[in-house]
Structure 1
Amino acid sequence: MAHVGNGSTAAEDEDCFEDAYDRIPAACQMDLHSAIQETQCALNLVLNDKFSEALELLRPWRRDSMYHALGYSSILVMQATMTFEQRDIQAAMVTIKEALQTCQRFRKRNSVVGSISSLISKQTNLQEEEMHAEICYAECLLQKATLTFVQDENMISFIKGGIKIRTSYQIYKECQNRLNESQDEASDSFRQFEGGVKLGIGSFNLMLSLLPQRILRLLEFIGFSGNRGFGLSQLREGASSHSLRAILCSLTLLFYNTYVSLILGTGEGNLVEAEALLEPYQQKYPKGSIILFYSARIATLRGNFEKARARYEECISSQQEWKQIHHLCYWELMWAHSYQQDWTKAYYYADLLCKESRWSKAIYVYQKAAILSMMSEEEVKKTGEDIVELFRQVEGLKQRLAGKSIPTEKFAVRKSRRYKAANPVPLLIPALEMMYVWNGFTIVGKRGDSTEALLVTIETAEEQLRNDATPSEFHPDDSCLVQMLKGLCLKHLGRLLQAELCFTQVLSSEARIRYDHYLVPFTLYELGLLYKQQGDLAKATTYIENAKTNYKDYSMESRLHFRIHAALNSLKGTPVSTP
């Protein structure tokens, strides 16, 4: 391949690399270096919300350049996974298949995974291209696996997706071996290759390390392994590099610290690191919706809900091309208002999600009904909504992903079945229960005023149950839910002995629970964390292990096992995240 034929100087090339949204070179021919540089230009456009322009830049070369193919397919895959529209998924699948074919043309011949150690010598560009083709091919395989899970519901598709992931993992391991053998390489091409390896190996190790031990043992049998510390170090090194994938390493770490560690861990995301990672990109892309979104998310996790809401609203107004980013903001705004019990505004965003987003209609409708349940009769009347009818819709909206029902949807369906009866017994504080499902009490706990206000609402529900003259069959379950949530509020307010009494009250009522069996193992886990906070690590371990080994077949079991895995790691002295 030849170089970009636009007569640009090295200094001009550097301008393109940093400020692609100001000037894009017109490429006549393309070599590896120029392809990486132009893909960086497209990435800059994406980060400045110029999605169509990024696609236009990449489109002409997507069948002749592996990096253009990868960049083009990445944007369409991202769009498809955000919209869940079948036409977007099909368009992305066609593109990713073309991208794999493009990458395959540059790969070493007669090799499924390839032995990378024999691919490169410094003198030959062809071998250099083969090296990059392996990384690009591995990334494309992961994208195709993602689309496979989203597109089809059957188990065959699930297995096919798993095979693609395993092949991708093997390629990354081979590439890492090559990297370890060549520490003296100093070319820009090699640094770009190194960035790709660090992104892949780091992401695989980090995500595999989150898996509960029983799942990980099975995966280790077929060649997977996960080391959290190593994964984080690889991603941090990649984020600090000057490679094309530096921003992708940063975004992976941001996602881990602001979402994964909260939903699948103990809620101890490293916000100091998240802020440091985001800071240079805030300078570079001050109005970029992705950067604004993460800035808002960090503010939420800090308990600064007012700042978070302002940033989410700024993110919404920053671009109109990809409405799906608006939907992410609506979800977060719904919770930001819920944390402060501004149910009218929370309902507004839940209603928008029901009308506009295809991600999970069952969750959105359940969430809207749950929020309405927290409002006064007069407020509900103003909305024109029928709470009972909304709950009855939930079951029919359930979907499947990768051949499996989605756990949170299953939970919503099961809870909404209370409304099937002719005279349903209303759920007591359903919006607060869902807040717990998403680990929201950990976030509200950063704000004493909001936690106190939640405690007042929970104690009002407790009083309502106490004064119930004709307790229903759901009374014991509702009482246990109230005690667990009350215990969480008391824990975050520093009233640890009272919190312990609430948790032990749930455990002593185990035999009376008829439907919400998830409450006992989750309470055991929370009590374990409480003992950890008090410094009694032996007692903490006992209670968390009890939740792990003695309970099964309850709602959101897999979610709790992720959290248990993170908690036990922290108790063993293996930090889940840096303080």
Structure 2
Amino acid sequence: MSPATHNNEEDKDKFEDAYEVIPVATTMNLLSSLEESTTGLYLFLNNKFSDAINLIYPWSHDSMYHALIYDILMVVKAILTFEPQDIHIGMTTARNALKTCNRFRGKSRLTFSSHVGFKQGIRSVREEELHAEVCYAECLILKSAVTFIQDDSMLGFLKNGINVGLSYQIYKNCQQILIQIPNHQSKAHKHLVGGIKFGLGAFNLILSLVPPRTLKLLNMVGYSGDREIGLALLHESASENHINNILSVFTLLFYYNYISIAFGIGKGYLSNSATEGLFLTNLQKFPNCVILIFFHARFRMLTGHFELAQEKLRQCIFIQNEWQQINHLCYWELMWCHIFLQQWKEAYHLARLLSEHSRWSKAISTYSQAVILAVLPSVSVSEDMNALFLKVDSLRIRIFGTSVPIEKFVAEKGERYGTTTDWFTAQPILEFLYAWSGFRVMSKRLDLVSKWLSIIDKGENMLRENPSKEYGEDDITLINLLKGLCLKHMGKYWEAEQHFNHVIQREKLLRYDRYLVPYAYYELGILHYLKRDYASALKSLDNIKNYKDYAMEARLQFRAHIAQEQITKETAA
């Protein structure tokens, strides 16, 4: 029996009233499963992580919603920490959740290839079986998320394509069933509808971000994703009261605060009023939720309010200490705030904390420490900068047999900067800024972009006076790309275009940094887009496909695909 009962009709639909502390359930039907699982979610959103897990886990092998929520908690932890152990636990949990949900599914399953067979199957489907189908499909999406973070290559996504396609088909079939069978308006019905909206929304959003050649296998059987439909469904799901609504909120916040910055086009972060409204509503409901406060800090960063972002991040660190990895994410964002503001000592301190205590990526945190140390006065610290640079390669990790592309990039750069002296002090951190979309994050603060441009200009003068015999052409080409980027954000499009073209013209002179040319084509394409010269934008972006086997290749192909899709839509409108 459920520990939470309500006497009036109004309260029947309000799962917000689920108690945070409840006795251990001895039986579990669909409704009590939903209620207890919702309670577990609320414990989690109030930073009571262990309490949430202790409540949900005992039934995770016998209740579909307990299995789903436990899967969500473990996958969220994996995404937050990026630790190999947590990713492994997330994957194991996802597999177990699929097994649990599968036991509740109908004998015929909702993946009929025959339309006639599907229609016949509708007549025999019970509501509980529909819930099981939605839970099963959602667990497939969660498994896909874990797979994606452990391997961000296109090959990794292809390996996962079958599960994503199966999940999508289940959601579509569930949606059709809801249209064709009477709606009894049961208390559990809204959770079913909300889950379908979340699943179809997440599916469309994920698939819309992937380049066409990556989706070739899925497209052969008719699968595709529409970003606008996906976002619309997620907004609907996030606005309604059901067990998946907070996951829809988190998905939207992650998309707008991270994915759209790393892969999107335009002039930087554009505040989305609908998403901001959802964010503020949920923050009022869960004022101490560390994840929501973290996103609030990120929102402040992307609107150029780095000092306010620092306050919110410190609040995150203060209000919880159970999941130290969340604090490490706060340290990471705090470090970047200090870097943007050129507060080197503070940035170095945080990088060192990450290097010593975070297991997320020792290679990246050590490289961060080294690039910041390069711009610090030598009297500030006693650390050996060259030793840090050379240490990076030995700290690289492999997750499920796959090397991390960004770690490979910083390891190669660490070798270069650790064994040579013919580079200017800010060169490593400038390149690191570019690799992490730092200039785009700063795009709302033109005063800061201008300060960084001054540093680039000084570096260019130094490199021209004392060019490196081995890396000289690559260094000057990097400078041109960075100058073009700053000038683009400052609205000086003609000057920026000259620098991007200069990078492209130096292609045959490059010895190591072959990524500079395809990335210059991308930046040039976005520049043309901002000038509304769509034909030239598409032409520049199309040139990227002529380049292969360069640093951060998969990331650029994702970016180019999204840009081309957006420009094509605007052209057709």
TM-score, normalised on structure 2?
Answer: 0.90
Q: Does 1:471 align with 2:468?
A: yes
Identity of aligned residues (%): 44
Q: CA deviation at 1:397?
A: 1.9
Q: Distance in 2 between matches of 1:313 and 1:344?
A: 17
Say if 1:146 and 1:257 are closer, same or farther in 2 by CA, change over 3 A. closer
| Mean CA deviation greater in 255-264 or 525-534 | 525-534
| Mean CA deviation greater in 202-211 or 518-527 | 518-527
Q: Distance in 2 between matches of 1:466 and 1:60?
A: 66
- Match of 1:321, SS state, is coil
Aligned counterpart in structure 2 of residue 516 of structure 1, from 485, 488, 513? 513
Cα contact 1:35–1:67 (8 A) shared by 2: yes
Q: CA deviation at 1:313?
A: 0.7
Q: CA deviation at 1:60?
A: 3.6
Give 1:168's aligned residue.
167
Give 2:555's aligned residue.
559
Aligned counterpart in structure 1 of residue 100 of structure 2, from 92, 99, 102? 102
Q: Does 1:48 align with 2:41?
A: no
Give 2:216's aligned residue.
217
CA deviations 1:460-507 (Å, max 9, x no partner) are 101111221x53211111111112111211222222222222222222
Cα contact 2:110–2:118 (8 A) shared by 1: no
- Match of 1:378, SS state, is coil
Cα contact 1:394–1:412 (8 A) shared by 2: yes
Listed as ranges, the gaps of 5+ residues in structure 1 are: none
| Mean CA deviation greater in 69-78 or 313-322 | 69-78
Give 2:190's aligned residue.
191
Give 2:293's aligned residue.
292
Q: CA deviation at 1:430?
A: 1.3
Give 1:262's aligned residue.
261
Cα contact 2:80–2:325 (8 A) shared by 1: yes
Q: Distance in 2 between matches of 1:290 and 1:450?
A: 28
CA deviations 1:13-56 (Å, max 9, x no partner) are 66982254655466443321221122111111111101111122
Give the residue type in structure 2 aligned to 1:522: Y
Cα contact 2:151–2:402 (8 A) shared by 1: no
Say if 1:11 and 1:270 are closer, same or farther in 2 by CA, change over 3 A. farther
Q: Distance in 2 between matches of 1:452 and 1:257?
A: 26
Say if 1:91 and 1:406 are closer, same or farther in 2 by CA, change over 3 A. closer
Q: Does 1:569 align with 2:565?
A: yes
Give 1:203's aligned residue.
202
Residues 491-510 of structure 1: pairs in structure 2 closer than 5 A: 491-510=488-507
Give the residue type in structure 2 aligned to 1:497: W
Give the residue type in structure 2 aligned to 1:271: S
| Mean CA deviation greater in 564-573 or 265-274 | 265-274
Q: Distance in 2 between matches of 1:483 and 1:161?
A: 39
CA deviations 1:362-383 (Å, max 9, x no partner) are 222122211212222223xx2x
Q: Distance in 2 between matches of 1:157 and 1:560?
A: 16
Q: CA deviation at 1:402?
A: 5.0
Give the residue type in structure 1 aligned to 2:106: K
Listed as ranges, the gaps of 5+ residues in structure 2 are: none
- Match of 1:573, SS state, is helix
Q: Distance in 1 between matches of 2:214 and 2:166?
A: 19
Aligned counterpart in structure 2 of residue 410 of structure 1, from 404, 408, 411? 408
Q: Distance in 2 between matches of 1:366 and 1:24?
A: 47
Say if 1:471 and 1:8 are closer, same or farther in 2 by CA, change over 3 A. closer
Residues 433-452 of structure 1: pairs in structure 2 closer than 5 A: 433-452=431-450
- Match of 1:494, SS state, is coil
Give 1:364's aligned residue.
365
Say if 1:5 and 1:233 are closer, same or farther in 2 by CA, change over 3 A. closer
Cα contact 1:16–1:25 (8 A) shared by 2: no
- Match of 1:140, SS state, is helix
Cα contact 1:418–1:425 (8 A) shared by 2: no
Give 2:302's aligned residue.
301
Give 2:428's aligned residue.
430
Cα contact 1:500–1:527 (8 A) shared by 2: yes
Q: Distance in 1 between matches of 2:155 and 2:252?
A: 32
| Mean CA deviation greater in 151-160 or 290-299 | 151-160
Q: CA deviation at 1:307?
A: 0.7
Cα contact 1:250–1:277 (8 A) shared by 2: yes
CA deviations 1:232-263 (Å, max 9, x no partner) are 12111211221111111111111111111111
CA deviations 1:533-562 (Å, max 9, x no partner) are 22322222222222x233222211221111
Cα contact 2:81–2:329 (8 A) shared by 1: no
Aligned counterpart in structure 1 of residue 72 of structure 2, from 63, 68, 74? 74
Give 2:326's aligned residue.
325
Give the residue type in structure 1 aligned to 2:497: E
| Mean CA deviation greater in 446-455 or 392-401 | 392-401
Give 1:549's aligned residue.
545
Give 2:531's aligned residue.
534
Give the residue type in structure 1 aligned to 2:127: E
Q: CA deviation at 1:388?
A: 0.9
Say if 1:404 and 1:168 are closer, same or farther in 2 by CA, change over 3 A. same
Q: Distance in 1 between matches of 2:146 and 2:209?
A: 22
- Match of 1:517, SS state, is coil
Say if 1:224 and 1:535 are closer, same or farther in 2 by CA, change over 3 A. closer
Cα contact 1:256–1:269 (8 A) shared by 2: no
Aligned counterpart in structure 2 of residue 480 of structure 1, from 477, 480, 484? 477
Give the residue type in structure 1 aligned to 2:366: V
Q: Distance in 1 between matches of 2:110 and 2:445?
A: 54
Cα contact 1:82–1:359 (8 A) shared by 2: no
CA deviations 1:64-112 (Å, max 9, x no partner) are 3211122123223333454455655565555444433332221112548
| Mean CA deviation greater in 476-485 or 4-13 | 4-13
Q: CA deviation at 1:290?
A: 0.7
Cα contact 1:369–1:387 (8 A) shared by 2: yes
Say if 1:287 and 1:106 are closer, same or farther in 2 by CA, change over 3 A. same
Q: Distance in 1 between matches of 2:477 and 2:309?
A: 33
The two structures, once aligned, show a CA RMSD in angstroms of: 3.1
Say if 1:6 and 1:494 are closer, same or farther in 2 by CA, change over 3 A. closer
- Match of 1:63, SS state, is coil
Cα contact 1:289–1:315 (8 A) shared by 2: yes
Residues 142-181 of structure 1: pairs in structure 2 closer than 5 A: 142-147=141-146, 161-181=160-180
Q: CA deviation at 1:211?
A: 0.9
Q: CA deviation at 1:152?
A: 10
Say if 1:396 and 1:10 are closer, same or farther in 2 by CA, change over 3 A. farther
Q: Does 1:248 align with 2:244?
A: no
Cα contact 1:149–1:401 (8 A) shared by 2: no
| Mean CA deviation greater in 386-395 or 65-74 | 65-74
- Match of 1:29, SS state, is coil
Q: Distance in 2 between matches of 1:319 and 1:15?
A: 31
**How many residues get paired?**
565
Give the residue type in structure 1 aligned to 2:513: D
Cα contact 1:365–1:391 (8 A) shared by 2: yes
Say if 1:287 and 1:529 are closer, same or farther in 2 by CA, change over 3 A. same
Say if 1:95 and 1:528 are closer, same or farther in 2 by CA, change over 3 A. closer
Give 1:226's aligned residue.
225
Cα contact 2:313–2:334 (8 A) shared by 1: yes
- Match of 1:214, SS state, is coil
Q: Distance in 1 between matches of 2:146 and 2:539?
A: 41
